[in-house]
Amino acid sequence: MRRWIYERGATTAEEMTDLPQRLRTRLGAEAVFGTLSLAAEQVSNDGTIKRVYALPDGQLIESVLMPYEDGRRTACISSQAGCAMACAFCATGQMGFARQLTEAEIVEQALRFAQELVKRGERLSNVVMMGMGEPFHNYENAVGAMRRLIGELGIGARHITVSTVGLAPQIRRFAGEGLQVTLAISLHAATDEARAALLPINRRWPLAELLDACREYAERAGRRISFEWALISGKNDSVGEAERLGRLLQGLPAHVNLIPLNPTAGYDGAPTQAPQAQRFVEVLGRFGVSATVRVRRGIDIDAGCGQLKAAVLKRERAAAAAAIAAAESAETP
Ligand code: SAH
C-alpha cells in the first residue's frame, strides 16, 4: 500500500488493483487517505501552482508548488492555520493565530503534490516550510512531519528547508535532532530596535541570542544557515544597513536570500528595485557574506504568503454579505 501511495500516487483504495477486492472495499470504507479539500487554486504564468486547502474544521491553509528550469520541483507548505508571531509585513501575521496543524496535515500538503507529479513522470524534489505559520511554534508536529518527508516521501534532508522567525530555544533543540535540514532565519533587520519594529518576537529573543543559536546549529548540523531579508524600499535596503548586516554575519557560514517585499494590505511598504538590491548584494560581498536576490515567483497569482487565502476569505465574506442582503430583501414586504 505504501508503494501505491508514495510511488504510484494512488489516492483511493480502488486504484490499488493488486489488492484483493474485499480488502479494497474495506480500506475504502475505513481508511482515511487525507483530509485536505481544495478550496481554491491558481496557476501562474511561470508554472507556480498556489492552493488554498480547507481543513475539516473549515480553517484555510496555503500550499505552493514551484517548478524550476533545472528540474527541481519545490513544495512550500504551511505549519499552522494563521500565525501568532505578528510580523508587520506578513499577510499571515496580520490574520492572527487560529490553530496548530497536525503532523498529518503538514505532510499531506507535500504528499498531494508528490502524488500528482509521480503520475506525470516527475518527482517532488524539495520542500520548504515557508508557508503559513511558524514551524517552531508547532515544534513536535513540524519535526515529525520533516521525519516523514524524509522517511516516507524520500525527500533528502538537505532538500528540506525550515524557516523560522527566530525562536532561539527551538533552534537549539533542533540542532540536537540530528537532521541535516537547511535552517532559514527570517532576519530582515540588523539591529534589535529595527528588527523588533518588524518582528515583535525580537523583544523575546534578541539578535545576540538568535545568532548564538544559529552558530550552534551550523556547528552541530554542519550546515550553512540561510538568512531571509525582505527588501523594503527606504526601510532596510541602504548601504549602511547592508554594512551592519555584513558585520553581523561575518564569520558565520551563511547565505542571505534577499526577497523584494511582497506588498500586503496591512503594511505600508514597497519592494526595493533591482539596482538597489544589487548594490546590497555587493556590499555584503565586501564582508565575505554571500547573497542572492530571489526571483519573485507567482507574483501574478497572489503568491505572497497568505495572499490567496486573504482573497478567498474576501470572496467568502462577499458571498455571505450577498446572501444576508438577499435574505433581508426577501423578508421585506
Ligand atoms: N514563520 C516562518 C515561515 C513563514 S514566512 C518565518 O518567519 O520564517 C516565510 C518567509 O517569508 C519569512 O522569511 C517571512 O519573513 C517572509 N515574508 C513574509 N511576508 C512577506 C512579504 N510580504 N514579503 C516578503 N517576504 C515575506
Could you count the other beta carbons within 10 Å of the beta carbon of residue 125? 19
Range of the domain at 21: 1-33
- 30 an active-site residue? no
Burial of residue 194 (CB within 10 Å: 0-12, 13-18, 19+) is middle
**Per-residue pLDDT tens digits for 76-129:** 999 999 999 999 999 999 999 999 999 999 999 999 999 999 999 999 999 999
Query: 241 alpha carbon to ligand 1 midpoint, in Å?
Result: 19
Determine which residue's CA is closest to atom 22 belonging to ligand 1: 262
Task: Judge if 5 and 83 occupy the same domain.
Answer: no
Q: What is the pLDDT of residue 1?
A: 77
- 62 an active-site residue? yes
Specify the ligand 1 atom closest to the Cα of 132.
4
Judge whether residue 23 has pLDDT over 90: no
CATH (domain of 293): 3.20.20.70
Query: 305 alpha carbon to ligand 1 midpoint, in Å?
Result: 7
Separation of alpha carbons 301 and 49, rounded Å? 9
Judge whether residue 302 has pLDDT over 90: no
In order of 3, 4, 6, 51, 261, the CA distances from 115 in angstroms are: 11, 10, 7, 15, 32
3-state secondary structure of 314: helix
**Per-residue pLDDT tens digits for 119-177:** 999 999 999 999 999 999 999 999 999 999 999 999 999 999 999 999 999 999 999 99
3-state secondary structure of 217: helix
3-state secondary structure of 176: coil
Q: All 3 cell numbers of residue 83? A: 500565525
Judge whether residue 332 has pLDDT over 80: no
Overall pTM > 0.75: yes
**Per-residue pLDDT tens digits for 191-203:** 999 999 999 999 9
**Per-residue pLDDT tens digits for 29-57:** 887 778 999 999 999 888 899 999 999 99
Judge whether residue 13 has pLDDT over 70: yes
Of 75, 95, 82, 92, nearest to 55 by C-alpha is 82
First to last CA, the chain: 61
Query: 179 alpha carbon to ligand 1 midpoint, in Å?
Result: 23
Determine which residue's CA is closest to atom 3 belonging to ligand 1: 130
Judge whether residue 66 has pLDDT over 90: yes
Of 26, 37, 135, 126, nearest to 79 by C-alpha is 135
Q: What is the pLDDT of residue 330?
A: 72
Ligand 1 cavity residues, CB under 6 Å? 87, 89-90, 130, 134, 163-165, 186, 228, 230, 259, 261-262, 264, 304-305
Task: Judge if 102 and 180 occupy the same domain.
Answer: yes
Burial of residue 77 (CB within 10 Å: 0-12, 13-18, 19+) is buried
Q: Which run of H or E residues covers position 3?
A: helix 2-7
Task: Judge if 21 and 76 occupy the same domain.
Answer: no
Task: Judge if 158 and 107 occupy the same domain.
Answer: yes
Judge whether residue 299 has pLDDT over 70: no
Separation of alpha carbons 53 and 312, rounded Å? 10
Task: Judge if 113 and 196 occupy the same domain.
Answer: yes
Q: What is the pLDDT of residue 228?
A: 97
Give the chain's domain count: 2
User: Across all residues in the chain, what is the average pLDDT?
Assistant: 92
Q: What is the pLDDT of residue 278?
A: 97
Task: Judge if 115 and 9 occupy the same domain.
Answer: no
Catalytic residue among 30, 41, 62, 228: 62
pLDDT > 90 in the chain, percent: 75
Question: Is 245 or 330 the better-scoring residue by pLDDT?
Answer: 245
Task: Judge if 11 and 110 occupy the same domain.
Answer: no
Determine which residue's CA is closest to atom 14 belonging to ligand 1: 186
What string of DSSP letters covers 117-166?
A: HHHTT----EEEE-SSS-GGGGHHHHHHHHHHHHHTS---GGGEEEEES-
Catalytic residue among 76, 83, 214, 305: 305
Task: Judge if 147 and 72 occupy the same domain.
Answer: yes
Q: Which of 77, 161, 163, 205 to mutate to test the pocket of ligand 1 (most atoms within 8 A of CB)?
A: 163
Separation of alpha carbons 231 and 234, rounded Å? 9
Task: Judge if 12 and 105 occupy the same domain.
Answer: no
